[in-house]
Amino acid sequence: MALMSRDDYIESLRGMNKRVFIMGQEVTNPVDHPLVRPSLNACAMTYELARQPEYAGLMLATSNLTGQTVNRFTHLHQSTADLVAKVKMQRLLGQMTGCCFQRCVGLDALNALDSVTYDMDQALGTRYHATFRHYLRQVQERDLVVDGAMTDAKGDRQLRPSQQADPDLFVHIVEKTSDGLVVRGAKLHQTGALNSHEIIVMPTQTLSEKERDYAVAFAVPADAPGIVMVYGRQPSDTRRLEDSQLDVGNPQFGGHEAVIILDDVFVPWERVFMAGEYAFSGLLVERFAGYHRQSYGGCKTGVGDVLIGAAQAVAQAQGTDKASHIKDKIVEMIHLNETMYACGIACSAEGQATASGTYLVNLLLANVCKLNVTRFPYEIARLAQDIAGGLLVTLPSEKDLAHPEVGPYLKKYLHSVDRYTTEERCRMLRLMENLTLGPGAAAYLTESMHGAGSPQAQRIMLARLADLEEKVRLARRLAGIEQ
């Protein structure tokens, strides 16, 4: 068993030579950068929990490739039980970190590629599946973090990839050699890119025959020559550069996104999983999206648990927790959170094996799950802000609370219920601010809306998968129109 510890993982990143830019400066050591480290801590939790016996059933799995114990984030789902365990693992990690822990996209990319490369080989006589599984064995044996990169820059949304004035607005093949491919383009919104060992690139949409060069999927080391990463800003992110933990809200953990630029990156054939097979681009997108929409039923409910707990704690500190309308709001938050979780479990329990043996979620229910996630966290956040009151956005800084002159006044006038200190109240308000307005809101809210596809993408899939004609047939039979 080659499972890395938390410290092993952090040290493994120090040994990489990534090109990273943060706020206009090239950073040679992103591991210890104050804007990056909270997200690294969150990703490291996937290693820490995997070493704790009480979480082994969720965090670990037996590889169908090697028979060895592996981190579940590198595992191919072999049953509906595996799919359910994935969602439960994600909820646990959301509870433990209160943020995005960044490994879900890579896990979903691995599982989608396994079944799609198998189907490609069967239909076209290619050998991508063996290539992919050889690569995955290395990922499992080395216990690596894989970042899945799907979203292209897209340019003018009215135009297809082949119609863009600049061909680089979608990642594409610029050269094929006997040794491999050269690719160019960029991927946006890449969760956890700076904390990853590997980048898996996939097409972002269904492609046509004249867009063969855009039908490309491959894996590269995150520090491969030609890869440049640019860190994305988040609301109130520079608070992490201040000498304050209270004002950050969630000082230990956080998430991050980045733009990944691929400037003529060479990819050897042993890391290529699609190179022009445009007819399978849509299938890869569909299966990846299904897995990732399932993921949101786990991770967002875990973070939701934290926000509900913070709202209840603030109500207790402010003496409002016994009010009937506050109780009703807390119950509504629980109802919405558990509904998302129920959808994540349902699409997992209804999963089925693909031809490669890897299990795929029920795509209809996975899309229902994600469509709920585009709405419910916003309502949970609204209710939390309602319970918190105006101090959520007017609270003075930690330095004011510690000031020798005004600090005592603030501790007096911001005090509420005797059993809770003013600092406890302030810390909980800052955590709520982080999750609903600050850096945490980027993952909990905006990512809930646009991650794994915006709401319209789920609506399109629901219309495609719902089998309306069968529903009409059922109605006609019961109405006595047809036997």
H or E element: which one contains 109? helix 104-124
DSSP code, position 169: G
Q: Nearest Cα to 439, choosing from 225, 232, 149? A: 232
d(CA 183, CA 214) in angstroms, rounded, equals: 9
Please indicate, yes or no, whether the overall pTM of this predicted structure exceeds 0.75: yes
Question: What percent of the chain clears pLDDT 90, i.e. is strictly above it?
Answer: 99
State the pLDDT confidence band at 483, using cuts at 50, 70 and 90. low
pLDDT for residue 375 is more than 80: yes
pLDDT confidence of residue 384:
98
d(CA 47, CA 69) in angstroms, rounded, equals: 13
Q: Where are the domains of the chain?
A: 283-474
pLDDT for residue 2 is more than 80: no
Supply φ then ψ for residue 264, to 5 degrees.
50, 60
Q: Which residue has the tokens 């043996």?
A: 357
Amino acid at 317: A
d(CA 294, CA 392) in angstroms, rounded, equals: 32
Mean pLDDT of 406-422: 97
pLDDT confidence of residue 373:
98
Average pLDDT for the chain? 97
Supply the residues annotated as catalytic. 100, 104, 191, 257, 292, 296, 299, 447
pLDDT digits (tens, 9 = 90+) for 159-211: 999 999 999 999 999 999 999 999 999 999 999 999 999 999 999 999 999 99
Please spell the DSSP secondary structure of 240-281, one letter per residue.
GGSS-SGGGSSSS-----EEEEEEEEEEEGGGEEEES-GGGH
Say if CB 71 and CB 123 are below 8 A apart.
Answer: no
pLDDT for residue 4 is more than 90: yes
pLDDT digits (tens, 9 = 90+) for 89-130: 999 999 999 999 999 999 999 999 999 999 999 999 999 999
The encoded tokens of residue 416 equal 């509420």
Architecture of the domain made up of 283-474: Up-down Bundle (1.20)
d(CA 449, CA 376) in angstroms, rounded, equals: 10
Neighbours of 279 (CB within 10 A): 16
